[in-house]
Amino acid sequence: MTAYITKRLLIALVTILVASVIVFSMLEIVPGDPARVMLGMNATPEALQALRDQMGLDQPLLVRYFDWIGQLLVFDFGKSYTYNIPVRDLIAERVVVSLPLAIMALALSTLIAIPVGIFSAERRGRMADTLSMGAAQIGVAVPNFWFALLLVYVFAVWLRLVPAGGFPGWGAGAWPALKALILPAIALALPQAAILSRVTRSAMLDVLGEDYIRTARAKGMPRNVVLWHHALRNALIPVLTILGLQFAFLLAGTIIIENVFYLPGLGRLVFQAITQRDLIVVEGVVMLLVAVVVLVNLLVDLSYAVVDPRLRTSR
Amino acid sequence: MSLLEIEKLSLNIGRIPILKDVDLTLDAGEVMGLVGESGSGKSMTAMAVMQLLPSVAKAMGRVRFDGIDILAAPEAAMCKLRGNEIGMVFQEPMTALNPVKTIGEQVAEGIRWHTGATRTDAEDHARKILDRVGLPEKSFPLSRYPHELSGGQRQRVVIAIACALRPKLLIADEPTTALDVVLQAQILDLLRDLVDENRMGLLLISHDLAVVTEMSDRVTVMRHGEVMETGETASTLSAQEHPYTRQLAQASMHVPARARIRGAEQPAHDLLKVEAVTRDYPGRRASLFRKPEPMRAVDDVSFSMKEGQSTALVGRSGCGKSTLARMILALDQPTGGAIHFMGEKLTSRDEAMLKPARRNMQVVFQDPYGSFNPRHKVERLVAEPLHTLEKQPQGAERRELVARALHEVGLKPADMDKYPHEFSGGQRQRLSIARAIITRPKLVVADEPVSALDVSIRAQILDLFADLNQRLGIAYLFITHDLSVARAITDDVMVMHDGRIVERGRTSDVLDNPQSEAARALVSASPDLRRAIAKKLQEQG
């Protein structure tokens, strides 16, 4: 087990390191002078020089890389040139929206998808299976922004249960803040749930065909008991893999939904930074997301070992 | 009233009849052997008794167990019977246990389910039954996972699960087919003891006539879903009155006619020479910082083979036979030692240099289906080894060669436009033999080539091997744990044990009079139909 954990940790560290080199090179491959790219063609020489100093562009490449890494280690991502405040503060402002949103969406999608997947695997080929998988097919196909607009129309405009958009901030109290996140979380969760329920169903069906399911049935346990006690845990590995990927997507890939609901999330931050060519912000946020994705994958890898004892004794 | 009474059991899946009017009775303490070839309906009969049939199957007739009408029993009643009154052991021990649960949990689970015992009590009970099936606490604590156990040990766990609550009826469906002969003998002994201890009825399903003869009081012979014959084991098998019973018995004892016994006109030079070959695998790492001890799979093996010679390599599973074969085929590199083939050194050469050797050396695997790409046609599959030739035949010439190879193995040239799934198991094995001989090799390595086949098909394939040996002078290295195969078609035999060759000689000499302990164990554990019938005749008079 220790060997497995150590190996996974090392892989995670190396991945982050390689990613940092790539992200850092991003600034270098931009043709010409990064400061000019950021400031545009009409910048004054003084402004250019000031930005160069701030970014340390006059220093050798390696020195800059190690300076940058050193700063990252103390969570110093530099200073945004458009907002003129530290990137760390910008990120912190956005994370308090994006992280709860991602967690809510993931929890919701898991709560829907796993029971539905098990349910339809158990009733394979019957009406209930056909219906729920048909619904899942629609869930995958329908664009989530359209679905989001529908939700806004029904629950915000028509029923007036929740606000149609915007985020009051956590300072306004937990409930108003959560209320603002409910619709976006549902809009994000349903397509994810559709995918996850299909994965759960097919993983369950694979497992239900295994010999040990027959052994368990021959012990006299009814079908549904065997399903929960023997099949589910064996079917979890593909489900966990998809969950890990979905969390990474939900954290930063939600720009469309953030736009629909006017949420100041990480996705919008990156998008704005890219359009404004604020490379320092882009660099900082991308690095943070890389770290989160690697961390989530590490957790997924470790959870494999919890689920499947055969992985604990890997060489 | 018997313990189990099956009367006119018929079973359809869709419109296809699987069982037709099957009759079978079994008393407490009795062993009933159910024999037949694959597809004869043996397993379906068992599943009908367990009511674990596929949902599309429709059963008619009557199955009574201990006075209960099983076909009419509701699912809840069946759940009470299964694992409690009726236990079942399956064929494939490697996959019969849940990989994510400990063996203790899996044995205790059924006990708790049926008796409502507390976890501790159920675990005590599980401990006792695991001790009984030969898995003592010291080496096999309840916390072991299935992947930490070998096939034979896993089968013991499955038996423990099935017998934990002393069922009145035990159904064993090919319980030893996946095990080597020594393990088979041990498992059969265990089953016999458990039957005697608990006065269980045992329904033993097997395709192996010798195993069934040794074990059972009465036999039922099935074919195409129908019962051909049923009766006392000794009289049924000694008289062999039913033509199908006779056909099965003869096929299981079949020895191909081999006109020429080699000896005098042997060529002087060696076809294959294996010198002090050793193969180490990296062992399991015990600590992060220490290099793991290597595991030695093949240990200092030397031997040679002449042209046209047929040699058997026999041994238990895990003894290193297949590793040795892979090195001879240059699919794996030895850790030490050298292998020469037709005077050329095979070891430590690159793939381009091996090409001439590869065309003279082909292989036939155990599973005829798994060794073919299902999306390719026979022409392409059989022609595959032709890429080892200097000039690769194309078009009409290639079809010509494939047609000749198919003809030689008894298939029609027209078969080359079919796909593998259109053939039966025996025909598929013919295809893989056609593929092996298309380049006119000097040596064919066959790894358990007949162990997945039914006895009558097996007899035909053995004939084919013998015939090709005579006609084309191909030398064989037969890897098998089945001594009857070795006896049937090889001149010489090598017995392998723990990576070493512990005995070698003429096949008949070694098998009739084994000297080493490993060879003696193999010979005495091997089921032999003639011996089994003789013994049964004595017992049953």
Report yes or no: B226 and B21 within 8 Å, Cβ to Cβ.
yes
Whether B147 contacts chain A with CB within 8 A: yes
CA distance A262 to chain B (A): 46
* Confidence at residue B270, expressed as pLDDT on a 0 to 100 scale: 84
Closest residue of chain A to B285, computed from CA coordinates: A315
Q: What is the mean pLDDT of residues B65-75?
A: 92
Closest residue of chain B to A305, computed from CA coordinates: B100
Whether A218 contacts chain B with CB within 8 A: yes
Residue partners of B272: CB distance under 8 A and separation at least 6: B304, B305, B328, B339, B340, B341, B443, B475, B477
pLDDT per residue as tens digits for the range A218-273: 999 998 899 989 999 999 989 999 999 898 888 877 888 888 888 898 888 888 88
pLDDT per residue as tens digits for the range B323-361: 999 999 988 889 999 999 988 888 777 777 888 888 899
From start to end of chain A, where are the E strands? none
Residue in A3, A308, A313 closest to B99 by CB: A308
Residue in B106, B145, B292 closest to A309 by CB: B145
Residues from chain A contacting residue B288 (CB–CB below 8 Å): 2-3, 6
Helix axes B395-408 and B455-472, enclosed angle (nearest 10) = 120
Residue B265 predicted with pLDDT over 70 = no
Binary contact (A310, B99; C-beta < 8 A): yes
User: Rounded distance, CA B262 to CA B507, Å?
Assistant: 12
Whether A214 contacts chain B with CB within 8 A: yes
Residue B496 predicted with pLDDT over 80 = yes
Report residue A156's pLDDT band, with 50, 70 and 90 as the boundaries: confident
* Average pLDDT taken over every residue of chain B: 89
CA distance B515 to chain A (A): 40
Q: 3-class SS at B310? A: strand
Q: How far is CA B214 from CA B172, B194, B458, B524, in A?
A: 15, 16, 21, 13
DSSP-derived letter for residue A48 is H
User: Rounded distance, CA A130 to CA B403, Å?
Assistant: 48
Q: Sheet harboring B361-364: ordered strands across?
A: B361-364, B443-447, B475-480, B310-314, B492-497, B500-506
A23 Cα distance to chain centroid: 19
Binary contact (B161, A215; C-beta < 8 A): yes
Report residue B264's pLDDT band, with 50, 70 and 90 as the boundaries: very low
CA distance B425 to chain A (A): 22
User: Rounded distance, CA A114 to CA A120, Å?
Assistant: 10
> Within chain A, what is the greatest distance between any pair of CA atoms?
83
- Amino acid at site B212: V
Give the residue among B77, B313, B211 at the shortest CA–CA distance from B526: B211
CB count in 10 Å sphere of residue A9: 13
ipTM of the complex: 0.83
- B59 DSSP β-pair partners: B11
The residues in A 221-280 lying below 8 A from B, measured between CB atoms, are 221-222, 229-230, 233-234
- Phi, then psi, of B331 in degrees rounded to 5: -95, -10
* Confidence at residue B485, expressed as pLDDT on a 0 to 100 scale: 87
User: Rounded distance, CA A256 to CA A245, Å?
Assistant: 18
Q: What is the mean pLDDT of residues A140-166?
A: 87
Report yes or no: A309 and B147 within 8 Å, Cβ to Cβ.
yes
Element of type H or E holding B6 = strand B4-13
Residue in A218, A229, A233 closest to B82 by CB: A218
Closest residue of chain A to B143, computed from CA coordinates: A309
Binary contact (A219, B109; C-beta < 8 A): yes
DSSP-derived letter for residue B438 is T
User: Rounded distance, CA A94 to CA A112, Å?
Assistant: 27
Q: A42-68 as b/e, with b when 16 or more CB fall inside 10 Å?
A: ebeeeebeebbeebeeeeeeeebbeeb
Whether A216 contacts chain B with CB within 8 A: yes
- Amino acid at site B82: R
Please state the length of chain B: 541
Exposure on the CB side of residue B466, measured as CA atoms within 13 A? 21
Whether B95 contacts chain A with CB within 8 A: yes
DSSP-derived letter for residue A263 is -
Binary contact (B81, A234; C-beta < 8 A): no
Residue A92 predicted with pLDDT over 80 = yes
pLDDT per residue as tens digits for the range B376-417: 999 999 998 988 887 888 888 899 999 999 998 888 888 889
Binary contact (B80, A220; C-beta < 8 A): yes
Closest residue of chain A to B92, computed from CA coordinates: A211
Q: A92-104 as b/e, with b when 16 or more CB fall inside 10 Å?
A: eebbbbbebbbeb
Residue to test with chain B: of A8, A215, A228, A230, most B Cβ within 10 A: A215
* Confidence at residue B285, expressed as pLDDT on a 0 to 100 scale: 64
Q: 3-class SS at B277? A: strand
Query: Computed from CA positions of residues B218, B222, B225, B228, in that sequence, does the dihedral angle turn out positive or negative?
Result: negative
Closest residue of chain B to A212, computed from CA coordinates: B96
The tokens 């021990």 sit on which residue?
A: B93
Q: Sheet harboring B295-305: ordered strands across?
A: B295-305, B272-281, B336-341, B344-345
The residues in B 28-87 lying below 8 A from A, measured between CB atoms, are 50, 52, 75-76, 78-84, 87
Q: What is the DSSP string of B482-513?
A: -HHHHHHH-SEEEEEETTEEEEEEEHHHHHHS
Report residue A205's pLDDT band, with 50, 70 and 90 as the boundaries: very high
Token pair listed for A174: 């937990």
* Confidence at residue B159, expressed as pLDDT on a 0 to 100 scale: 94
Q: How far is CA A219 from CA A11, B75, B144, in A?
A: 42, 13, 20
User: Rounded distance, CA B501 to CA B304, Å?
Assistant: 12
The residues in B 418-457 lying below 8 A from A, measured between CB atoms, are none
User: Rounded distance, CA B110 to CA B107, Å?
Assistant: 6
User: Rounded distance, CA A171 to CA A169, Å?
Assistant: 5
DSSP-derived letter for residue A31 is S
Give the residue among A166, A189, A164 at the shortest CA–CA distance from A264: A166
Residues from chain B contacting residue A215 (CB–CB below 8 Å): 90, 96-98, 106, 158, 161
Residues from chain A contacting residue B82 (CB–CB below 8 Å): 217-220
Superfamily per CATH, domain A94-308: MetI-like (1.10.3720.10)
Domain ranges for chain A, please list them: 2-73, 94-308
User: Rounded distance, CA B347 to CA B356, Å?
Assistant: 14
User: Rounded distance, CA B398 to CA B438, Å?
Assistant: 10
Binary contact (A220, B285; C-beta < 8 A): no
Element of type H or E holding A191 = helix A174-208
* Confidence at residue A36, expressed as pLDDT on a 0 to 100 scale: 76
Report yes or no: B161 and A215 within 8 Å, Cβ to Cβ.
yes
Report residue B481's pLDDT band, with 50, 70 and 90 as the boundaries: confident
Most confident of B124-133, B172-181, B258-267: B124-133
Whether B285 contacts chain A with CB within 8 A: yes
Residue B260 predicted with pLDDT over 60 = no
DSSP-derived letter for residue B142 is T
Superfamily per CATH, domain B4-252: P-loop containing nucleotide triphosphate hydrolases (3.40.50.300)
Higher pLDDT, residue A61 or B522? B522
Closest residue of chain B to A236, computed from CA coordinates: B100
Whether B145 contacts chain A with CB within 8 A: yes
CB pairs under 8 A between A and B: 83
Binary contact (A220, B113; C-beta < 8 A): yes
User: Rounded distance, CA A254 to CA A44, Å?
Assistant: 37
Residue partners of B216: CB distance under 8 A and separation at least 6: B31, B32, B33, B202, B204, B233
Binary contact (A219, B92; C-beta < 8 A): no
Report yes or no: A55 and A24 within 8 Å, Cβ to Cβ.
no
Token pair listed for B541: 């008079």
pLDDT per residue as tens digits for the range A17-28: 999 999 888 777
CA distance B151 to chain A (A): 14
Residue in B97, B285, B292 closest to A215 by CB: B97
Closest residue of chain A to B283, computed from CA coordinates: A315
Whether A3 contacts chain B with CB within 8 A: yes
Whether B114 contacts chain A with CB within 8 A: yes
Residue partners of A173: CB distance under 8 A and separation at least 6: none
> Within chain B, what is the greatest distance between any pair of CA atoms?
74
User: Rounded distance, CA A262 to CA A260, Å?
Assistant: 6
Q: How far is CA B259 from CA B318, B470, B471, in A?
A: 34, 8, 11
Residue to test with chain B: of A219, A221, A223, A308, most B Cβ within 10 A: A219
Element of type H or E holding B250 = helix B243-252
pLDDT per residue as tens digits for the range B136-164: 999 899 999 999 998 889 999 999 999 99
Token pair listed for B7: 């009367």
Whether A314 contacts chain B with CB within 8 A: no
Task: State the pairing for strand pair B57-65/B169-173.
Answer: unpaired
Token pair listed for A233: 């845990």
Q: What is the mean pLDDT of residues B353-375?
A: 84
DSSP-derived letter for residue B30 is -
In this prediction the pTM is 0.84
* Confidence at residue B235, expressed as pLDDT on a 0 to 100 scale: 92
CB count in 10 Å sphere of residue B179: 23
Element of type H or E holding A304 = helix A279-307
Q: What is the mean pLDDT of residues A79-83?
A: 80
Binary contact (A220, B100; C-beta < 8 A): no
Binary contact (A220, B82; C-beta < 8 A): yes
CA distance B294 to chain A (A): 13
Report residue A315's pLDDT band, with 50, 70 and 90 as the boundaries: very low
Q: According to CATH, where is 3.40.50.300 located in chain B?
A: 4-252
User: Rounded distance, CA B160 to CA B134, Å?
Assistant: 10
